Amino acid sequence: MYGRDDVYTVRMFSSEEKTRAVAALLSWFDAHKRPLPWRSSYTPYEVWISEVMLQQTQMERGVQYFLRWMKRFPTLASVAEAPEEEILHYWEGLGYYRRARFLHQAAKTVMERFGRALPCAKEELASLPGLGEYTVAAILGIAYERDVVTVDANVERIFSRLFNIAEPVRKAPTATWIRRTAQELLPPGQARAYNQALMELGALVCGKAPRCPECPLLPWCEARKKGVEKSRPVLPERPKVIPVVSAHSILLWKRQILLLQRPLNGLWGGMWEFPGAMVAEKASPRETAVRSMAELGLRVEILAPLGQVRHSYTNHRLTAHFFRVEFASDFSEEQASALARRVPCRFLNWNEVGTLAMPAHHRRMADRYFSGKHRASAEQLSL
């Protein structure tokens, strides 16, 4: 039947249709759910970590990081007790490093205030650093099985097709309408299965390229009936991509590599990188690499280019140039100590580079030349 909602004129489900649609969804999930590691026990800690990791991360990659994380940090207490540098190292490659810092801070807060276990009250969860509305809902609905709906991009996509919503799904009032409607369809006491079923359906069937014949909700899908399923959901205009270029020096001295620590506040805060700078308009990567070293009080000469690494973050597309450099004159231990007093830096043996957290483009260059499987490359750099 069709009716006037306070936002849209939509085809609304009757009570019988709601029951049948949700039953079909849950039956499909029971038959097709993937054996994801956090589904073995659904502990609040594991659900929390999985949800934070899977934001902006593909499932296969997220599972790999989750397993690696759990091997090192099997409990919330082990996260709280670890140094931040190690937390960042195990998060390296997932991006959005503020999430890792918030996770670390939240673990400490839980240990101090809630007796070593994630609280089960919405207000207490929301008081933890970095736990926004989505993460709180996921913990409550999936781990604690409260009647709370979890809405992610998969759920937005399903509802935009199911009800043929021709408005951007992430803007009010559409986002509010989807959340409310999803909540109305949630069967009491089955939040864990319902939330995961929707997310699983969006990931496996109702994806960007929908596989409608396989969908358990096909009989009720308005977008499919009208032949517009491929144009749903309506997304906002993408921000303009901004190209940026950087240049970096790989300096080797006494078989050691110079690394600088980024400021704690800002992009990639507290992580370690090869010294360098953004390339200004009309400047070249080569001269930028030499100039950035000079600003540290280091006179260097470029021996050879080591290639480029391309990396995307937010709406920026970065091309990072790397150069093998050496000191243009003698450099002493006293000068190294003076440098360390001026700026946060370290001279590390090449096989220790992997122990520090680095931005993705620096890690890729480090792995190219200094990881264990590339030792020959390191030797070629005259280590």
Structure tokens at 75: 């409990």
Q: Which of 62, 40, 60, 61 is nearest to 50 (CA)?
A: 62
**For residues 48 and 155, what is the distance between their CA atoms, to the nearest angstrom?**
19
Write the DSSP assignment of 188-254 as a string of letters: TT-HHHHHHHHHHHHHHTSSSS--GGG-TTGGG-HHHHHT-GGG-SB-PPPPPPEEEEEEEEEEEET
Beta strand 242-253 pairing with 256-261:
antiparallel
Quickly tell me which residue has 């909602």 as its tokens. 5
Please pick, among 46, 51, 156, 222, the residue that the annotation labels catalytic. 51
Determine whether 51 is an active site residue: yes
- φ/ψ (deg, to 5) at 26: -70, -35
In sign, the C-alpha dihedral spanning 89, 93, 94, 96 is positive
Q: How many CB atoms lie within 10 A of CB 74?
A: 12
Residues in the chain: 383
Judging by beta carbons within 10 Å of its beta carbon (0-12, 13-18, 19+), is residue 157 exposed, middle or buried? buried
Active site residues: 51
